Amino acid sequence: MSITRSASHAGSWYNSKSTELSNQLGTWIEKVDAFHSPAKAIIAPHAGYRYCGSCSAFAYKQIDPSIVKRIFIFGPSHFSRFSGCALPEAEKYETPFYDLTVDLEVIEELKNSKHFESVDLNTDETEHSIEMHLPFIAKIMENHKSQFSIVPVLVGSLSAKQESLYGQIFAKYLLDSNNLFIISSDFCHWGKRFSFTYYDNSHQEIFQSIEQLDRMGMKIIEEVNPEKFGTYLKKYGNTICGRNPILILLRSIEELIKTDNSKIANLKFLNYSQSQKCRQMSDSSVSYAAGVLVLN
């Protein structure tokens, strides 16, 4: 009997009723044009949809579902502490629309490398970073729902050596024209409750300082420069929760270009928003950004 991961955050972080959820996601997606497409990889947030759903739509609209056969989803681990990457024991992932099938052949390939931990079902269902992308995936792929599989990858802490290792491992999958990478990440978590209150007082308002800090990081990501991004994180301490999944993507792009230097990586951020505009030190906010990689 196959193991199915339940949609454990449905009904709280997003609508559990398929018709209402479909209308909500459809409205956001229809408002956006496909102007940086077809996506080879996207970076999109994982907060409650009322905060970040419209931002995520900018990334998801750039996907061409007709060419996608396999979707890798890299999510940061918020609750379970481990080093490296971990793979699920679940064989299906539930959404309010339909179940998504895990690519067991690729999971086995990755396990055979001996560089992956395992994620038990309870840990998997507690974590939200991967789940928050599943309804968007199901919606975008609804006309091709029997023609694709997913590879969920939970990402823990990474050393510089591990960054490079996973970049090498995943580069061959990124090179495959039928594969799509989804990188799950919110950007700055600002406020005393996040123990992060960086403020550049050359900006009149706190929220403007936060945006400037985020956009500095986004620009470095667009340059596909993992070393520079690592230096930025150390210097400013920006609380980008998906920094390690982002670094895996950047390292994979680096390795891919080494393998095929005819490839040109065009990574752009298409949208940015904040959960609220912080104006005083007692405020707090989370930032969201939608980025898209196109390979030419």
In terms of Cα–Cα distance, which of 267, 198, 276 is closest to 239? Answer: 198
pLDDT in tens, 192-249: 999 999 999 898 899 999 999 999 999 999 999 999 999 999 999 999 999 999 999 9
Q: How far apart are CA 150 and CA 32, in angstroms?
A: 25
Domains of the chain plus CATH, in order, are 4-295 (3.40.830.10)
CB atoms within 10 A of CB 50: 12
Bridge partners of 4, per DSSP, are: 92
pLDDT in tens, 123-147: 999 999 999 999 999 999 999 999 9
Is the pLDDT at 2 greater than 90? The verdict is no
CA quadruple 163, 195, 132, 89: dihedral, nearest 10? 50
Task: Kindly state the percentage of the chain with pLDDT values over 70.
Answer: 100
The model's pTM: 0.97
Q: How far apart are CA 74 and CA 69, in angstroms?
A: 17
pLDDT computed for residue 259 by the predictor: 85
